[in-house]
């Protein structure tokens, strides 16, 4: 309960600081500072220097403390990277399930410790490849999954009882998860031991990424079904990956990313408690997913603030007692939106700096973007460089040798405090609106993000912010980068596969199991059991999603710009 | 009724991809340049976009795609405009479009492709020079 | 009949789209086409939807269109959006919420910007209504934010005007009172699952009852409805009220073709003359440079604005300045 500083210190510091500022004013009076205004990528103004004055009230035990101890500012585990490194989890998915399966085998052989799956747009949106809405999209930005058949191909030969799998899927998350469970059960693996993550975060879809199917309220209901089922039946699974990544990619500031993500987390927690679940039974399985953007110190502070806010929210607001409920465990991906098509090799450097910030911020797992991400789906070579970037940070740079190396920096602690305070203000505003669902209905977060995105783009256009190779140090030469092509034939093959499946399976069983899903949706029964049954009967993804759409209606873009 | 022709453009998101950051930003930039901008919203089929563009009598359709389906969606839009005898509506595109895809897209009738990093002012300038209100 | 007029009467989508653009842009030649179309108008039923931004007008219109289509009626929608006062540009985003109807040949959706040019919004919108009418649409829905005299005038062209509010807008009810209460034929509380619905309902009821004398002699008394347009709740009931109002107009007000009624004609012709005069006179004197000259004279203190105005206007309308 006491300041880390002896009050007497401040007299000297204040005097010294004033003297130093005067000296600087003199220097800059003849030759001004390099910029009129120094600000972060989120346009937060930054001072010339930070001193003990800025963290005058810092209370070591309550605000900073030790890793693994409340409020976890310095990390959730006591040992952090002294024990083991973060999980190097690279997102992969392209073309057909068989193609992606090959890439997965390669990644596992290279030493990757967890798989991460990207799906194509029709899968993400709940359409089969043969839907008219899916024309031209098959396999384009991830793997196409139409039924359990594809899922079986995807994980063929992979030890899913030993590796963990992360699936980046939202509206159709419950179904893909049911498929994964079905694959395990068909191999005789108990669902109690399988581990992984489904993103399953619809709130940020309405806010930012815009991959949606049903309206917000029923969407959250399905999510709560998965939380309930996971808590009871698949205890090693992370049922929601509460994601700020896409909020940031959509153009938010760092603080908005932090605040909206945590507000989403609060909403899911409230829903699950409303379902009658005990907070300590499900909260430890919530994980988070953040962006690591260009502004190094701001990002480190964001991660530190996130842990502190969440710990306090869970303990004080939701009265969680299990310390694991207080932990904000998170996955990080470097900022795709920061990469440039111009001089693409520079992207390796950007990604390295962002990865470094994530590590200094204490991430549990990390995806590093490939240099060609802004051009198309990464080639194998580019993906390997991205993985090597993490390995160099981990094993060559030495930054992982001590825990929270930036803790105690006047600057970083100040930024951490500022971000916490500002995020709490936004969360309060959302609470006053009636929570995140109500805020989304009012388009509040959507509008805030649209404004920030436009502001940033204008700053780039007016050269207030530098983007190397885009608005400064521009070169004319074209640097050729090999781009991965997705075979256009895949769409037809995939459609043939669906047609074959629909002829071979027991269509009566499919119909019955779809009806059961419809009943569960319309009533209060948890949908997961009927889903697992339906996918085992080879109901297709769209057939199931169509049931959702019939019962709940479709959500349409409110068109906020 | 004062004679007051303005550029009218439609900013459209074809396909299932929901990444609308670029589309929304460009819509604002067009507005700030004095254009009338009709925004299509997300998840539109080329058919829906073309029908809307005709009803709205726009001079140009700006298509945005970030998920790789441009090779089908962009040419399909031009093709439908031709079928409706509305090929006087200029089509341009932006988003994650690999360099190698650009020549075939242009050949298919997409007048210009803007790749990531293009300054807003450059896009607006291009529209002012190449799209005349009819 | 000109080619264009013929195409429009035959329902040619491109010709309609182009003519509305020409009307909005004030292109010469438009007037001739409108004259030719006039005999084909007077068959559509016009609905005005107004309410502050965020009350869900577009979603409501979208649902109304679905219901009208189920009755096999064709629909034209005019969605009016504000223009940026800074650039003169506009983002017309209402269409987004109605896009699912874009492939339906029985539906024509058109976004209009509230431009500040001579004829003004009222004139362009009325003419656009005539075009939809002439092309044979059964219903025409005009959606505006209902701010400013222009927009109030627009909704006056409608047969039935629906004023949309949402709960918890408190002061906004006062604003309605001040502005467009008189033009409301139906009041609709959208998002009626929200807290404050009952309060809004009683506020509205009180407001309408204050005018109770008006309703005593068999006049239409505006009903207040509750809806959740996004879930299609209350929309069917809204259409039923619209039917009732339509019946009321037929029985008590000399038919629902009110736009042909004397008071409406008087109003619309008066408005049209006003904007035409502005266009002709201001157009002429701006073109010749007389306007700028007069401005300079006033600035330099050589004359007063009253004299300058007489000098400019009177010759333009054929009155000698004496």
The three-point CA angle A550-A551-A554 to 5° equals: 60
Encode pLDDT of C130-158 as tens digits.
999 999 999 999 998 766 667 777 777 88
Are the Cβ atoms of B19 and A556 closer than 8 angstroms? Answer: no
Instruction: Extract the tokens encoding C56.
Output: 């869900």
Q: Is the peptide bond before A94 cis (omega within 30 degrees of 0)?
A: no
Nearest Cβ partner for A341 among B17, B76, B115: B115
DSSP type of residue C109 = E
Domain limit, last residue, from A461, A488, A516: A461
pLDDT of res. B18: 87
Under the banding of pLDDT at 50, 70 and 90, the label for residue A374 is confident
> Which residues 6+ apart lie within 8 Å of A159 measured at CB?
none
Tell me the chain A residues in contact with residue C93 when contact means C-beta distances shorter than 8 Å. Answer: 559-561
The number of domains in chain A is: 2
Per CB-CB distance under 8 Å, the chain B contacts of C25 are 1, 3-6, 133
Identify the burial level of C274 via C-beta atoms within 10 angstroms of its C-beta, where 0-12 means exposed, 13-18 middle and 19 or more buried.
middle
- Domain harbouring B107, CATH code: 3.40.50.280
Q: Where do the structural domains in chain C lie, given as residue ranges?
A: 3-256, 257-322
Taking every pair of Cα atoms in chain A, the longest distance, rounded to a whole number of angstroms, is 85
What single DSSP character describes residue C48? E
Q: How close does chain A come to B5, measured CA to CA in Å? A: 24
pLDDT band at B87 (very low <50, low <70, confident <90, very high): very high
Instruction: Give the structural domain span for B96.
Output: 8-125
Tell me, yes or no, whether A127 and A269 share the same domain: yes
**Sign of CA pseudo-dihedral B120, B124, B127, B133:** positive
Q: pLDDT tier at B130 (50, 70, 90 boundaries)?
A: very high
Interface mutation target, options C53, C62, C90, C93, chain A, most CBs of A under 10 Å: C93
pLDDT for C26 beyond 60: yes
Q: What pLDDT, on the 0 to 100 scale, is given for residue A5?
A: 82
For residues C190 and C229, is the Cβ–Cβ distance under 8 A?
Answer: yes
Same domain, A25 and A89: no
pLDDT at residue A245 above 90? yes
Contact C85/B at CB under 8 A: no
Interface check for A458 against chain B (CB to CB < 8 A): the answer is: yes
Residue A213, in any domain of the structure: yes
In this structure, is residue A505 part of a structural domain? no
Q: Do both A50 and A123 map to the same domain?
A: no
Of A215, A442, A556, nearest to C97 by CB-CB distance is: A556
- pLDDT 10s digits, A229-242: 999 999 999 999 99
Are the Cβ atoms of B37 and C23 closer than 8 angstroms?
no
In the block, tokens 């029964």 appear at A525
Q: Does the pLDDT of residue A441 top 70, yes or no?
A: yes
How close B1 comes to chain A (CA, Å)?
30
Among the partner-chain residues A441, A442, A557, the one whose CB lies closest to the CB of C96 is A557
Q: Average pLDDT for residues A304-328, to the nearest whole number?
A: 97
Q: What is the pLDDT of residue C118?
A: 44
Domain around A214? 65-461
Q: What does the pLDDT average to over A280-299?
A: 97
Is the pLDDT assigned to residue A535 strictly greater than 70?
yes
Min CA distance, C94 vs chain A (Å)?
8
pLDDT at residue B122 greater than cutoff 90:
yes
3-state secondary structure A461-495: HCCCCCCECCCECCCCCCCCCCCCCCCCCHHHHHH
Which of A443, A555, A559 would best serve as a mutation to test chain C binding (most C beta carbons within 10 A)?
A559
Q: What is the pLDDT of residue B96?
A: 85
Considering its fold, how many domains does chain B have in total? 1
pLDDT over 90 at A263, yes or no = yes
Position B115 in a domain: yes
Residue A483 has pLDDT above 80, yes or no: no
Q: Is residue A308 part of a domain?
A: yes
Query: Which chain A residue is nearest to residue C59, measuring alpha carbons?
Result: A558
Residue-averaged pLDDT of chain A: 93
Subunits touching A (CB < 8 Å, at least 3 pairs)?
B, C
Please judge whether C54 and A442 are an interchain contact, meaning their C-beta atoms are less than 8 angstroms apart.
Answer: yes
One domain for residues A19 and A164? no
> What tokens were used for A31?
């030759």
Q: Which residues of B touch C97 (CB under 8 A)?
A: 41
C14 CB near a chain B CB, below 8 Å? yes
From C207's Cα to the closest Cα of chain B, the distance in A is 37
Strands of the A330-334 sheet, one edge to the other:
A237-238, A196-198, A164-168, A114-118, A87-92, A365-367, A330-334, A286-292, A240-243
pLDDT of residue B2 exceeding 50, the answer is no
CB A253 within 8 A of CB A293: no
Among A461, A490, A524, give the residue marking a domain's end. Answer: A461
Side by side, which strands form the sheet with B112-114? Answer: B112-114, B90-95, B60-65, B8-12, B36-39, C90-92
Tens of pLDDT along A168-223? 999 999 999 999 999 999 999 999 999 999 999 999 999 999 999 999 999 999 99
Global pTM value: 0.88
Q: Do A453 and B25 touch (CB under 8 A)?
A: yes
CA angle (A283 as vertex; A280, A288 as ends), nearest 5? 160
* Res B91: pLDDT: 97
Among chain C residues, the shortest Cα distance to B40 is held by: C96
C118 contacts in chain B (CB < 8 Å): 1-2
Which chain B residues contact residue C279 at CB under 8 A?
Answer: 1-2
The reply to whether residue A559 touches residue C231, judged by beta carbons under 8 angstroms, is no
Bridge partners (DSSP) listed for residue C261: none
Phi and psi dihedrals of A34, rounded to 5?
-60, -25
| pLDDT at residue C260, rounded to an integer | 65
Tell whether A142 is covered by a domain: yes
Q: Indicate whether A152 and A109 sit together in one domain.
A: yes
CATH value at residue A235: 3.20.20.240
Whether residue B40 lies inside any domain: the answer is yes
Mean per-residue pLDDT for C212-231?
83
Same domain, A163 and A251: yes
Residue B29: per-residue pLDDT: 94
A 529-558 residues inside an 8 A Cβ radius of C: 553, 556-558
If contacts are CB pairs under 8 Å, which of residues 437-496 in chain A contact chain C?
441-443
Compute the average pLDDT of residues C248-271.
76
pLDDT for residue B75: 96
**Region class of A191: left (phi > 0), else alpha (psi between -120 and 50), else beta:** alpha
- Is it the case that residue A560 has pLDDT exceeding 50? yes
Q: Is the pLDDT of residue A112 over 90?
A: no
Domain boundary among A443, A461, A479: A461
Count the Cβ atoms, other than its own, within 10 Å of residue C86: 9
Residue A88 scores a pLDDT above 70: yes
Tens of pLDDT, residue by residue over C27-79, are 888 999 999 999 999 899 999 998 888 889 999 999 999 999 999 999 999 99
* Smallest Cα distance from C113 to chain A, Å: 16
CATH class of residue range C3-256: alpha beta
pLDDT tens-place string over residues A29-69: 989 999 989 999 999 999 999 999 999 888 898 999 999 99
**Which H or E element spans position A116?**
strand A114-118
Predicted ipTM of the assembly: 0.92
What would the mean pLDDT of C239-263 be, rounded to a whole number?
80
């Amino acid at each position: 309960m006491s300041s880390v500083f002896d009050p007497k210190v401040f007299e000297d510091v204040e005097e010294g600081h004033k003297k130093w500022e005067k000296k600087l004013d003199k220097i800059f009076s003849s030759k001004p500072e390099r910029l009129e205004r120094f600000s972060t990528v989120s346009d937060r103004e930054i001072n010339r220097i930070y001193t003990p004055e800025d963290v005058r009230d810092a209370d070591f035990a309550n605000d900073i403390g030790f890793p693994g101890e409340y409020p976890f500012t310095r990390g959730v585990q006591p040992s952090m990277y002294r024990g083991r490194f973060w999980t190097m989890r690279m997102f992969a998915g392209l073309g057909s399930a068989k193609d992606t399966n090959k890439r997965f085998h390669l990644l596992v052989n290279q030493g990757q410790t967890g798989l991460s799956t990207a799906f194509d747009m029709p899968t993400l949106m709940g359409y089969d490849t043969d839907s008219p809405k899916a024309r031209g999209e098959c396999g384009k930005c991830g793997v196409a999954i139409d039924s359990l058949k594809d899922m079986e191909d995807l994980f063929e030969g992979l030890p899913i009882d030993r590796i963990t799998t992360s699936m980046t899927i939202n509206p159709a998350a419950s179904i893909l998860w049911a498929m994964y469970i079905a694959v395990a059960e068909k191999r005789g693996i108990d669902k109690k031991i399988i581990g992984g993550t489904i993103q399953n975060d619809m709130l940020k879809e309405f806010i930012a990424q815009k991959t949606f199917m049903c309206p917000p309220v029923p969407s959250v209901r399905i999510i709560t079904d998965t939380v309930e089922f996971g808590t009871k039946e698949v205890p090693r699974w992370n049922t929601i990956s509460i994601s700020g990544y896409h909020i940031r990619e959509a153009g938010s500031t760092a603080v908005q990313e932090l605040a909206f993500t945590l507000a989403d987390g609060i909403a899911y927690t409230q829903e699950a408690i409303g379902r009658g679940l005990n907070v300590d039974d499900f909260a430890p399985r919530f994980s988070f997913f953040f962006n690591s953007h260009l502004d190094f110190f701001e990002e480190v502070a964001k991660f530190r603030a996130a842990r502190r806010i969440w710990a306090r929210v869970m303990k004080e607001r939701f009265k969680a007692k299990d310390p694991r409920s207080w932990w904000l465990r998170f996955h990080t991906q470097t900022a795709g939106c920061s990469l440039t098509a111009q001089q693409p090799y520079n992207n390796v450097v950007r990604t390295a700096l962002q990865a470094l910030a994530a590590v200094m911020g204490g991430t549990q797992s990390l995806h590093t973007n490939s240099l060609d991400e802004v051009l198309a789906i990464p080639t194998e070579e580019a993906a390997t460089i991205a993985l090597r970037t993490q390995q160099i940070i981990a094993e060559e740079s030495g930054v992982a040798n001590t825990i929270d190396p930036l803790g105690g920096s006047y600057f970083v602690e100040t930024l951490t405090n500022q971000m916490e305070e500002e995020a709490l203000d936004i969360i309060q505003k959302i609470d006053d609106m009636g929570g995140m669902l109500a805020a989304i209905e009012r388009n509040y977060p959507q509008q805030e993000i649209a404004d920030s995105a436009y502001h940033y783009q204008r700053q780039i256009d007016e050269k207030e912010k530098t983007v190397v190779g885009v608005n400064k140090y521009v070169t004319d030469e074209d640097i050729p980068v090999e781009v991965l092509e997705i075979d256009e034939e895949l769409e037809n093959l995939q459609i043939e596969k669906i047609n074959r499946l629909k002829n071979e399976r027991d269509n009566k069983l499919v119909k019955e199991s779809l009806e059961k899903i419809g009943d569960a949706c319309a009533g209060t029964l948890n949908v997961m059991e009927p889903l697992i049954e339906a996918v085992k009967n080879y109901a297709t993804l769209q057939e199931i999603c169509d049931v959702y759409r019939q019962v709940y209606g479709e959500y349409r873009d409110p068109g906020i710009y | 009724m004062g004679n007051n022709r303005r550029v009218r453009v439609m900013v459209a998101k074809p396909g299932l991809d929901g990444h609308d950051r670029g589309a929304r930003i460009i819509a604002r930039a067009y507005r700030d340049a004095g254009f009338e901008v009709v925004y299509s919203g997300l998840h539109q089929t080329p058919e829906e976009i073309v029908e809307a563009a005709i009803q709205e009598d726009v001079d140009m359709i700006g298509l945005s795609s970030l998920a790789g389906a441009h090779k089908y969606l962009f040419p399909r839009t031009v093709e439908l405009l031709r079928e409706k005898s509305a090929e006087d509506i200029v089509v341009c595109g932006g988003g994650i479009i690999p360099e190698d895809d650009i020549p075939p897209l242009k050949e298919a009738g997409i007048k210009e492709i803007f790749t990531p990093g293009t300054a807003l002012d450059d896009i607006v300038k291009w529209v002012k020079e190449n799209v005349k209100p009819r | 009949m000109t080619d264009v007029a013929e195409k429009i009467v035959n329902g040619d989508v491109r010709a309609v789209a182009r003519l509305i653009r020409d009307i909005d842009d004030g292109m010469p030649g438009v007037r001739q086409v409108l004259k030719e179309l006039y005999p084909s108008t007077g068959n559509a039923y016009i609905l005005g939807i107004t309410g502050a931004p965020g009350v869900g007008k577009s979603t409501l219109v979208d649902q109304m269109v679905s219901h009208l289509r189920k009755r096999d009626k064709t629909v034209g929608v005019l969605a009016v959006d504000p223009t940026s006062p800074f650039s003169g540009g506009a983002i017309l985003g209402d269409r987004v919420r109605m896009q699912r109807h874009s492939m339906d040949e029985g539906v024509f959706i058109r976004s209009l910007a509230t431009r500040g040019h001579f004829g003004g919004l009222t004139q362009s919108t009325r003419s656009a209504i005539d075009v939809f009418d002439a092309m044979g649409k059964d219903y025409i829905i005009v959606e505006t934010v209902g701010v400013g005299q222009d927009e109030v005038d627009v909704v006056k062209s409608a047969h039935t005007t629906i004023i949309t509010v949402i709960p918890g807008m408190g002061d906004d009810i006062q604003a309605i009172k001040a502005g467009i209460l008189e033009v409301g034929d139906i009041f609709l509380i959208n998002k009626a699952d929200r807290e404050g619905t009952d309060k809004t309902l009683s506020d509205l009821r009180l407001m309408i009852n204050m005018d109770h004398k008006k309703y005593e002699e068999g006049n239409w008394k505006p009903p207040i409805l509750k809806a959740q347009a996004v879930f299609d709740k209350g929309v069917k009931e809204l259409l039923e009220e619209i039917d009732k109002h339509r019946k009321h107009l037929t029985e008590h007000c000399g038919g629902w073709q009110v736009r042909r009624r004397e008071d409406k004609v008087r109003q619309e012709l008066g408005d049209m003359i006003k904007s035409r005069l502005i266009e002709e006179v201001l157009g002429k004197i701006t073109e010749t440079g007389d306007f700028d000259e007069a401005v300079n004279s006033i600035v330099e203190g050589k004359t007063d604005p009253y004299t300058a105005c007489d000098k400019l206007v009177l010759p333009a309308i054929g009155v000698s300045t004496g």
